[in-house]
Every structure is written in C-alpha cells, then in structure tokens.
Amino acid sequence: MKQEQLNDIKLKFTEYVRAFKYRVPDWKKNIGLKEIHSWKVSKEITTLGLSIGLDRDDLLLAEAIGLLHDIGRFEQYIKYSTFSDADSVNHGEFGAEILERSSILNFIESRDRHIIFDCISHHNALTVPSHLCERSIFFLSLLRDADKLDIYRVVTEHYQNREVAGNKVVERDLEDSEHISDSAINSIFSHNAIKYNELCSLNDFKLLQLSWVFDINHDKTAQLILQREYLQMIRATLPNNQRIDSAFSYVYSILESKSKLEPGRSIA
C-alpha cells in the first residue's frame, strides 16, 4: 500500500463515521468510543509492525487494517443499540459486508484488498481460521494483538472511572455481582480463552479479558501489556480470594513467558 492510498482510506473512514454522529443521544460515549478505538488500534498495529521490521508498504497496509477493523461497529450500534454480537450481528463479518458495498477500498489493489477483508472478517473469531493464506494470517496476528492492546486501555480506563462515568455498553450489561463462574476459572487453567457465551457476570468478563493473554502472538505485545500494567489494573477490580489469586498468577506467568523477558524483570 502507498501513502496516498492510506490517506484516501483515512479521509473516507472519517466521512463514514461522521454520518453516524448525533444520530443517537449517547453517540459520543459509544460511537465516539469506537472511533477513538479505531485510530488507536491503527497506531498500536504500526508499533507492532515496526518492532518486527515491516517494510513501509506493509506498515501502511497494517495501519489501514487497524483503522478499518471495527467499521461494522457503527452501523451495529445504530441498528441494535449494542456492541454484543450475540444480540445483534457478527461485527467482523458485518464490517466486511459494509466495506464491500462502500467505496473505501475502490483504489486499493486486489491483493491488499483481499488481506483487509480477511482481517476484518476474522479479527473477532475465537481462533484464526487455518484456511486463510499465510499473509492474511500474519496481518491478522498483528491486528488481533493491536486490538487487545487498545481494548485493555478502554476497559481499564472504564474500571478506574466507573463510579463517575460508567458505561453499561462496555460491560455488555452484565450483572455486577461477586459471582465467578467455575467454567471461567476452569477455562483459564485449561489455557483456553473464555467464551463470551459463557459469561454470567461482570467478574467473568474481567476474567475473559485476562484470558486474552493466551492468544497473544508477538512478544512486543506482551511487553507493552506488562509495561502498562493492564492485568494488574483488572486484577484490582476483582474479588480477593484464592481462586482469583491463582488464576491471575497463572495468566501473568504466561504473559511474562510470551514477553521473552526474565520473570519479574521490568520493562524500561
């Protein structure tokens, strides 16, 4: 991808999102949330790409993928008033459909367009489909990591400011109780990401966020999570008991191993 092509995508994305603003009373809280998230992910994926030495054209492609990955979220929220795919549509597949009928990628080569569609369609899948081409799988691994990095920012900022500016959409309207599902704990110790359809409480959702560590693909991602202390911030909002302590310690040890740093070593 070339710079002028990325500039065109940025302009069209901005125009597309602008059409959804002011259409709902809480647009800034939710439409604005996803707009900011899209730009942040485009920056995070560029950081990851630089860390592994991507060339300029591939860095620009990665940036475009990051910006467009959640394009299905805007129409999803307007239509269904939720970001829950289970209660609406699969936002990855929906986003690919939206791109297909839009002009955003009109001047992008078919090779790059194919990768963008693959990444948007599958970025929210539980696992990466094995049938994709090697290049799509590579960019998808970058996107899924970059997406997690910024979602960690979103949820930790939310938890820290919840009493002042809480947002039930971020919490998927889950019950805020002391309940912790056995299935969520068992998934963690089985080294499996917790599934959204298994969530019974907000605490389960927080454990799900911890379990994302199992699906981290690049050591730079793990290093940034450690540096920013996202897991500790989530842990601070969970109940103090042995089950949570053990689950957190297990996840944290996995994160440290993925960072390729010595356990307990800080990142400057």
Q: Examine the domain organization and report whether 117 and 183 are in the same domain.
A: no
28 against 213, higher pLDDT: 213
Residues contacting residue 244 through CB under 8 Å, at least 6 positions apart: 180, 235, 238
Could you tell me if residue 169 is inside a domain? no
CATH number for 101: 1.10.3210
CA-angle at 65, arms to 100 and 223, nearest 5°:
155
Percent of the chain's residues with pLDDT above 70: 96
Write down the pLDDT at residue 59: 99
Write down the pLDDT at residue 224: 98
Phi and psi angles of residue 21, each rounded to the nearest 5 degrees, phi first: -70, 145
Q: Examine the domain organization and report whether 32 and 78 are in the same domain.
A: yes
Q: Examine the domain organization and report whether 42 and 140 are in the same domain.
A: yes
DSSP per-residue letters across 24-42: STTHHHHHHHHHHHHHHHH
Q: Examine the domain organization and report whether 211 and 114 are in the same domain.
A: no
Which of 147, 164, 187 lies at the terminal end of a domain, its last residue? 147
Q: Examine the domain organization and report whether 128 and 10 are in the same domain.
A: yes
Write down the pLDDT at residue 168: 76
Question: Max alpha carbon distance in the chain (Å)?
Answer: 56
Could you tell me if residue 208 is inside a domain? yes
Residue 108: pLDDT over 50: yes
Write down the pLDDT at residue 16: 95
Q: Examine the domain organization and report whether 47 and 118 are in the same domain.
A: yes
Could you tell me if residue 152 is inside a domain? no
Q: Examine the domain organization and report whether 10 and 133 are in the same domain.
A: yes
**Cβ atoms 93, 36 nearer than 8 A:** no
Which domain covers residue 130, as residue numbers?
3-147
Could you tell me if residue 160 is inside a domain? no
Write down the pLDDT at residue 49: 98
Which of 130, 147, 164 lies at the terminal end of a domain, its last residue? 147
Could you tell me if residue 31 is inside a domain? yes
CB atoms within 10 A of CB 123: 23
Residue 262: pLDDT over 80: no
Q: Examine the domain organization and report whether 128 and 182 are in the same domain.
A: no
Residue 233: pLDDT over 90: yes
Q: Examine the domain organization and report whether 125 and 180 are in the same domain.
A: no
Amino acid at 83: F
Model pTM?
A: 0.92
What are the pLDDT digits (tens) for 9-26? Answer: 999 999 999 999 878 777
What are the pLDDT digits (tens) for 111-159? Answer: 999 999 999 999 999 889 999 999 999 999 999 999 999 999 999 999 9
**The length of the chain, given as a count of residues:** 268
Could you tell me if residue 161 is inside a domain? no
Q: Which helix (H) or strand (E) holds 99?
A: helix 91-101
Q: Examine the domain organization and report whether 251 and 193 are in the same domain.
A: yes
Q: Examine the domain organization and report whether 107 and 25 are in the same domain.
A: yes
Could you tell me if residue 179 is inside a domain? yes
What are the pLDDT digits (tens) for 33-92? Answer: 999 999 999 999 999 999 999 999 999 999 999 999 999 999 999 999 889 898 999 999
Residues contacting residue 239 through CB under 8 Å, at least 6 positions apart: 178, 180, 203
Q: Examine the domain organization and report whether 28 and 108 are in the same domain.
A: yes
Q: Could you give the C-alpha distances from 124 to 23, 33, 69, 144, 251, in angstroms and in order? A: 26, 18, 9, 8, 21
Which of 147, 164, 190 lies at the terminal end of a domain, its last residue? 147
Number of domains within the chain: 2
Average pLDDT taken over every residue of the chain: 92
Could you tell me if residue 64 is inside a domain? yes
